[in-house]
Amino acid sequence: MTRLSRFPFPLAADTFTYTTNVEPARVPVATAAGEWGAGIVEPDDEYRTEVAERAAVVARDPSRVQLLPHMRPAAWDALLTLLRELAAQCPAHMALVEGPQCVWRNDLLGVEQRFTVGDDESLPGGPLGFLNGQLQEDVVLLDQREDALWVDAGAVAFAADWSLAFVTGMRFAEVHRPVVARVHEAGVLTRAEQFLLRLPPGAEYRRLNWTLSVDRRLDLSTEVREEWEPQRAALAAAPPAELGRRVHLRVELQHLIRLGASGAVLFLIRTHLLSLDELAAVPLWRRRVGRVLAALPDDVADYKGLTGVRPGVVRWCLGP
């Protein structure tokens, strides 16, 4: 499938309001360009490129993988769960043989790895470091204690203006504190946390989140903000042709899964990027993005980092 045909377009109306927007996972969604959402993880034609980039990010900055000691069982639970998912999605190229010594085979990457569950030394980078090099998704693990969720482990190479190293050990509510006031007033975060706290073992849900970004850059973490922030600011004065080529609609397909063995909440984030030029192949999407941005409250635009580039993108989307 092409990038356009599998793109999870996130805007169902011409205005945008923060909601929990959670729905059951594994339900295919038909769009004006194709379909998405049949699986939890869906390797595609950008799999090798994105996995290589993830590995390179972590090699440069090992702090992108975090694991508090009490989360080791959850990390192994996540590893086995997601390797099984990959094997189910790509049976011709991937396989997991489980036993006293497990064997993972990934022909797309030329990997055959033997490991013992629970033995971090049996996997390069441990369970989360190894998983980072097999998935296109970022992985976050939430522990549940004291009637709250805590961000206590993960492998995140493609964060959108946040840092896993900074938030590790923080409560879910603290991580999301610096959001726009209207989100707190509407109780969205409280409802989201309560929903996650009540997830039974094996439950699988998903949601979409979106913003705009520059070029096809996946790593927008705070650790490298000095690299991407000036590029985004410079686009405020860019001509239309440059906007169409360089501005991308960035959509996160987020899966929320209660792991059965450990009880942790697995939070997966797959990032999709589509340039405005590519978006224009679906006129409805082009117009909707323009209308949503035009109607977006200023505080929401500021929070998403869209204030500078918004006028030019609105003109690009709604112009002749």
Q: Is 217 a catalytic residue?
A: no
Closest CA to 54 of 167, 164, 151, 209: 164
Q: How far apart are CA 235 and CA 215, in angstroms?
A: 11
Nearest alpha-carbon partner for 239 in 309, 318, 320? 309
Question: What single-letter DSSP state applies at residue 220?
Answer: B
Which of helix, strand or coil describes residue 302? helix
Active-site residue identified among 3, 84, 182, 207: 207
Cβ pair 156, 138 in contact under 8 A? yes
Q: Which ranges in 90-216 belong to alpha helices (H)? A: 126-132, 164-167, 172-175, 181-186, 188-197
Q: Which two tokens stand for residue 166?
A: 């900074």
Using CA atoms, how far apart are residues 108 and 270, in angstroms rounded to an integer? 19
- C-alpha R_g of the chain: 20
Q: What are the start-end ranges of the H helices in the chain?
A: 47-60, 72-89, 126-132, 164-167, 172-175, 181-186, 188-197, 225-234, 240-246, 276-279, 283-295, 298-303, 310-318
Q: Which of the residues are catalytic? A: 207
